């Protein structure tokens, strides 16, 4: 029995040692570039990844892995660095996102528009809603023919629990100053005037979305409104509707950006440093 427990303790100590080493390695290697840059001689094309939910806040996660999200401040920093780097001649937005918060998406869209160097947006698997909002501000939009894009629209969810609370005997007392201070409350039915108020907010946001896309894509508001019904389109359909300029993959997007940036020969692809996580080391 003593031998058994000695073995158990030994393996336990070894396992703890491996975890400690992994944490230390993750700490010291957190700035290591693992992006795999392709070298060329004609100039640089900077790739800026727009992955996950577009947000002004941070990304939730756990010990081993951080959930993917497109943090606007980080992306603005990458765009400005590329714009101010004399060796970078053009930028590719690598879009893989289903959208995000309204203000965050519009803020990132504005930053793309302010960029002085040519910007090409490449939509891979999905670039919808707020992500398409951002992509529309690029000089050219390239999409895989099987990608999902579009979904131009605005949505708001209001959840109600009052019937469930009645069934299980829970009472919520709301004390407020201001008649509509608890608008959207889940503890009571919504009034008609409150519904109209919230609908007005959604409609106003939608109109700005349509106007911005029309301006970015050099389309009329009527043309955008015809396709801005919330539908999601394949890249091939989006191309036919004028929401996308070309169909192709990342290589085609990089080549197009290089041409727009006046790069002669094969461009060097500059990708941002990706910090190594504990999950990278363990797997």
Q: Which of 6, 181, 199, 264 is catalytic?
A: 181
Percent of the chain at pLDDT > 70 equals: 78
**Are 107 and 211 found together in one domain?**
no
Q: Which of 107, 92, 93, 97 is nearest to 69 (CA)?
A: 97
The rounded Cα 229 to chain-centroid distance in angstroms is 21
What Cα–Cα distance (Å) separates residue 29 from each residue in 53, 63, 98, 210, 273?
A: 26, 17, 31, 44, 11
**Are 240 and 267 found together in one domain?**
yes
Both tokens of 215, joined, read: 């301006």
**Are 178 and 242 found together in one domain?**
no
**Are 46 and 109 found together in one domain?**
yes
Q: Say if residue 132's pLDDT is above 70.
A: yes
pLDDT of residue 137: 97
Place of tokens 């896309």: 213
**Are 137 and 172 found together in one domain?**
no
Place of tokens 């700035």: 31
Place of tokens 């101010």: 84
Both tokens of 37, joined, read: 């840059």
Is 273:32 a contact under the CB 8 Å cutoff? yes
Residues 144-152 have a mean pLDDT of 95
**Are 64 and 129 found together in one domain?**
yes
**Are 166 and 222 found together in one domain?**
yes
Q: Which of 97, 105, 124, 129 is catalytic?
A: 129
Q: If you average pLDDT over every residue of the chain, what do you get? A: 83
- Per the structure, the complete domain to which residue 145 belongs is given by 35-151+231-276
> pLDDT tier at 28 (50, 70, 90 boundaries)?
very low
State in Å, rounded, how far the first CA of the chain is from the last one.
Answer: 34
Over the range 126-149, which residues count as b (16 or more CB within 10 Å of their CB) and which as e? Answer: bbbbbbbbbbbbbbbbbbbeebbb
Q: 42 in a domain, yes or no? A: yes
**Are 93 and 140 found together in one domain?**
yes
**Are 116 and 208 found together in one domain?**
no
147 catalytic per annotation: no
pLDDT of residue 144: 96
Q: Work out the number of other CB atoms within 10 angstroms of the CB of residue 89.
A: 22
**Residues 211-268: tens digit of each pLDDT:** 999 999 999 999 999 999 999 999 999 999 999 999 999 999 999 999 999 998 889 9
CATH number, domain containing residue 39: 3.90.226.10
**Residues 150-191: tens digit of each pLDDT:** 999 998 888 888 888 888 988 888 898 988 898 888 888 899
Over the range 202-219, which residues count as b (16 or more CB within 10 Å of their CB) and which as e? Answer: eeebbeebbebbbebbeb
> pLDDT tier at 124 (50, 70, 90 boundaries)?
very high
181 catalytic per annotation: yes
**Are 157 and 205 found together in one domain?**
yes
Q: 50 in a domain, yes or no? A: yes
Q: 282 in a domain, yes or no? A: no
Q: What is the helix, strand, coil percentage profile of the chain, to 5?
A: 45, 20, 40
Q: 183 in a domain, yes or no? A: yes
How many structural domains comprise the chain? 3
**Are 74 and 147 found together in one domain?**
yes
Residues 66-79 have a mean pLDDT of 87
Residues 110-125 have a mean pLDDT of 97
**Are 213 and 109 found together in one domain?**
no
SS3 state at 264: coil
Rounded to 5 degrees, what are φ and ψ at 31? Answer: -100, 5
C-alpha–C-alpha distance, residues 139 and 120, integer Å:
6
Q: Which of 16, 18, 17, 23 is nearest to 276 (CA)?
A: 23
């Amino acid at each position: 029995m003593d031998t058994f427990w000695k073995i158990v303790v030994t393996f336990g100590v070894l396992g703890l040692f491996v975890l400690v080493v992994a944490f230390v390695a993750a700490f010291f290697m957190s700035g290591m570039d693992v992006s795999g840059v392709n070298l060329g001689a004609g100039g640089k094309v900077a790739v800026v990844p727009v992955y996950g939910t577009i947000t002004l806040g941070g990304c939730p996660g756990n010990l081993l892995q951080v959930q993917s999200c497109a943090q606007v401040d980080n992306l603005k920093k990458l765009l400005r660095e590329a714009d101010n780097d004399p060796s970078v001649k053009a930028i590719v937005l690598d879009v893989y996102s289903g959208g995000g918060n309204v203000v965050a998406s519009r803020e990132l869209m504005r930053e793309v528009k302010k960029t002085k160097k040519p910007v090409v947006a490449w939509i891979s698997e999905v670039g919808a809603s707020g992500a398409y909002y951002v992509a529309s501000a690029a000089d050219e939009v390239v999409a895989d023919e099987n990608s999902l894009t579009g979904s131009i629209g605005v949505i708001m969810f209001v959840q109600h629990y009052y019937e469930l609370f009645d069934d299980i005997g829970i009472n919520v007392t709301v004390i407020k100053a201001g008649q509509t201070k608890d608008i959207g409350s889940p503890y009571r039915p919504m009034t008609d005037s409150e519904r109209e108020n919230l609908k007005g907010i959604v409609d106003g946001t939608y109109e700005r979305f349509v106007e911005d896309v029309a301006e970015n894509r050099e389309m009329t508001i009527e043309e955008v409104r015809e396709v801005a019904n919330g539908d999601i389109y394949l890249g091939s359909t989006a191309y036919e509707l004028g929401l996308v300029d070309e169909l192709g993959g990342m290589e085609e997007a990089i080549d197009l950006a290089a041409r727009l940036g006046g790069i002669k020969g094969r461009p060097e692809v500059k990708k941002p440093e990706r910090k190594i996580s504990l999950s990278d080391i363990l797997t």
